[in-house]
Amino acid sequence: MELQRGAMAMMDEIEAQAIEADRDAARRMLDEVDGLLNEAAIAAETVRCLSHPTPELLAETAREIAADMRPRLSQWGAWHEEIWAASEALRRALAAGELAAYGWRGEREPKWDNEPWPICRERVPPELLRAPVTLTQTGVVPFPRHHDYPVQYRLLFCGILIDAGELLRIWPAPHSLADAPRIPAKDRKPGRANFTGRPPHKGRDTFIRELVRLALDPDGLPPRPELFRRMIAWCDAELGDDAPGETTIRDWLAAWCPE
């Protein structure tokens, strides 16, 4: 805001200089105003990016703390209250200097993969996050000023990263759920080995072996109606009281001898 007030005051002086026809002085002051307004817009845009949630900032922060936050969003771009509260807590910690954010300066952002030397990130000054500045339509400045180019935005910092260790130091990760209490072996009651349903029929394995024997016979398996009658008779003769019912035999034949 101080930059903008100073720029507006200089605009008044420019008008006075123009009235006196001192064009050179007016041009120099106009360039200086351009710089001030540009700095104000850049600082305001930086504050907006750091203090207001954006999908890009969320994704980058999530990658740094190895936690995918997107399942907590009702939809991409629609913010949940918890995410907003976490974003505000993060901004306050950065503004207080408890956390450090690092980024590339806008004019030094790497543009190509074949950069001749590495460009190091710099720490984002905490003062930027404490500045009560917001970018409004009146704060947008065309760049360059004297050409019919569209409005351009240039961030003071980009590619902002936050150290995961520092985040976990302030906000430790939640503990994993404790394992279910184990019953001592001496207190356990004997139970069935099959916990997914009823135990298999006692005569199932014997039934399968008989089917295999019939299938390996040179004549092969008889037609389904005859096989059904033969297996009923075989179960009654071989399994006795453990013989399965007709419905069970029909289901077994459908499962192991499909037509």
DSSP the chain: -HHHHHHHHHHHHHHHHHHTT-HHHHHHHHHHHHHHHHHHHHHHHHHHHHHS--HHHHHHHHHHTT---GGGSSBTTBPPHHHHHHHHHHHHHHHTTSS-EEEEEGGG---STT-SS----EEPPHHHHH------GGG---SSTTS-PPP----SEEEEEE-HHHHHHHSPPPPPPPPPPPPPGGGPPP--S--SSSPPPTTHHHHHHHHHHHHTSTT-PPPHHHHHHHHHHHHHHHTGGGPPPHHHHHHHHHHHS--
Q: pLDDT tens digits, residue range 17-29? A: 444 545 555 556 5
The lowest-confidence range among 180-184, 193-197, 203-207, 246-250 is 193-197
- Considering the chain, what percentage of its residues have pLDDT values greater than 70? 41
Residues 104-129 have pLDDT tens digits of 776 555 555 555 556 678 888 887 77
Task: pLDDT band for 70, please (50, 70, 90 cuts).
Answer: very low
Q: Give the pLDDT of residue 135.
A: 43
Given a cut of 60, is residue 224 above it in pLDDT? yes
What is residue 96's predicted lDDT score, i.e. its pLDDT? 86
Q: Is the pLDDT of residue 94 over 80?
A: yes
Q: Which residue has the higher pLDDT, 106 or 163?
A: 163
Whether omega before 132 lies within 30 degrees of 0, making that bond cis, reads no
Confidence of residue 77 (pLDDT cuts 50, 70, 90): very low
Residue whose token pair is 């203090």: 51
Structure tokens at 251: 């289901």
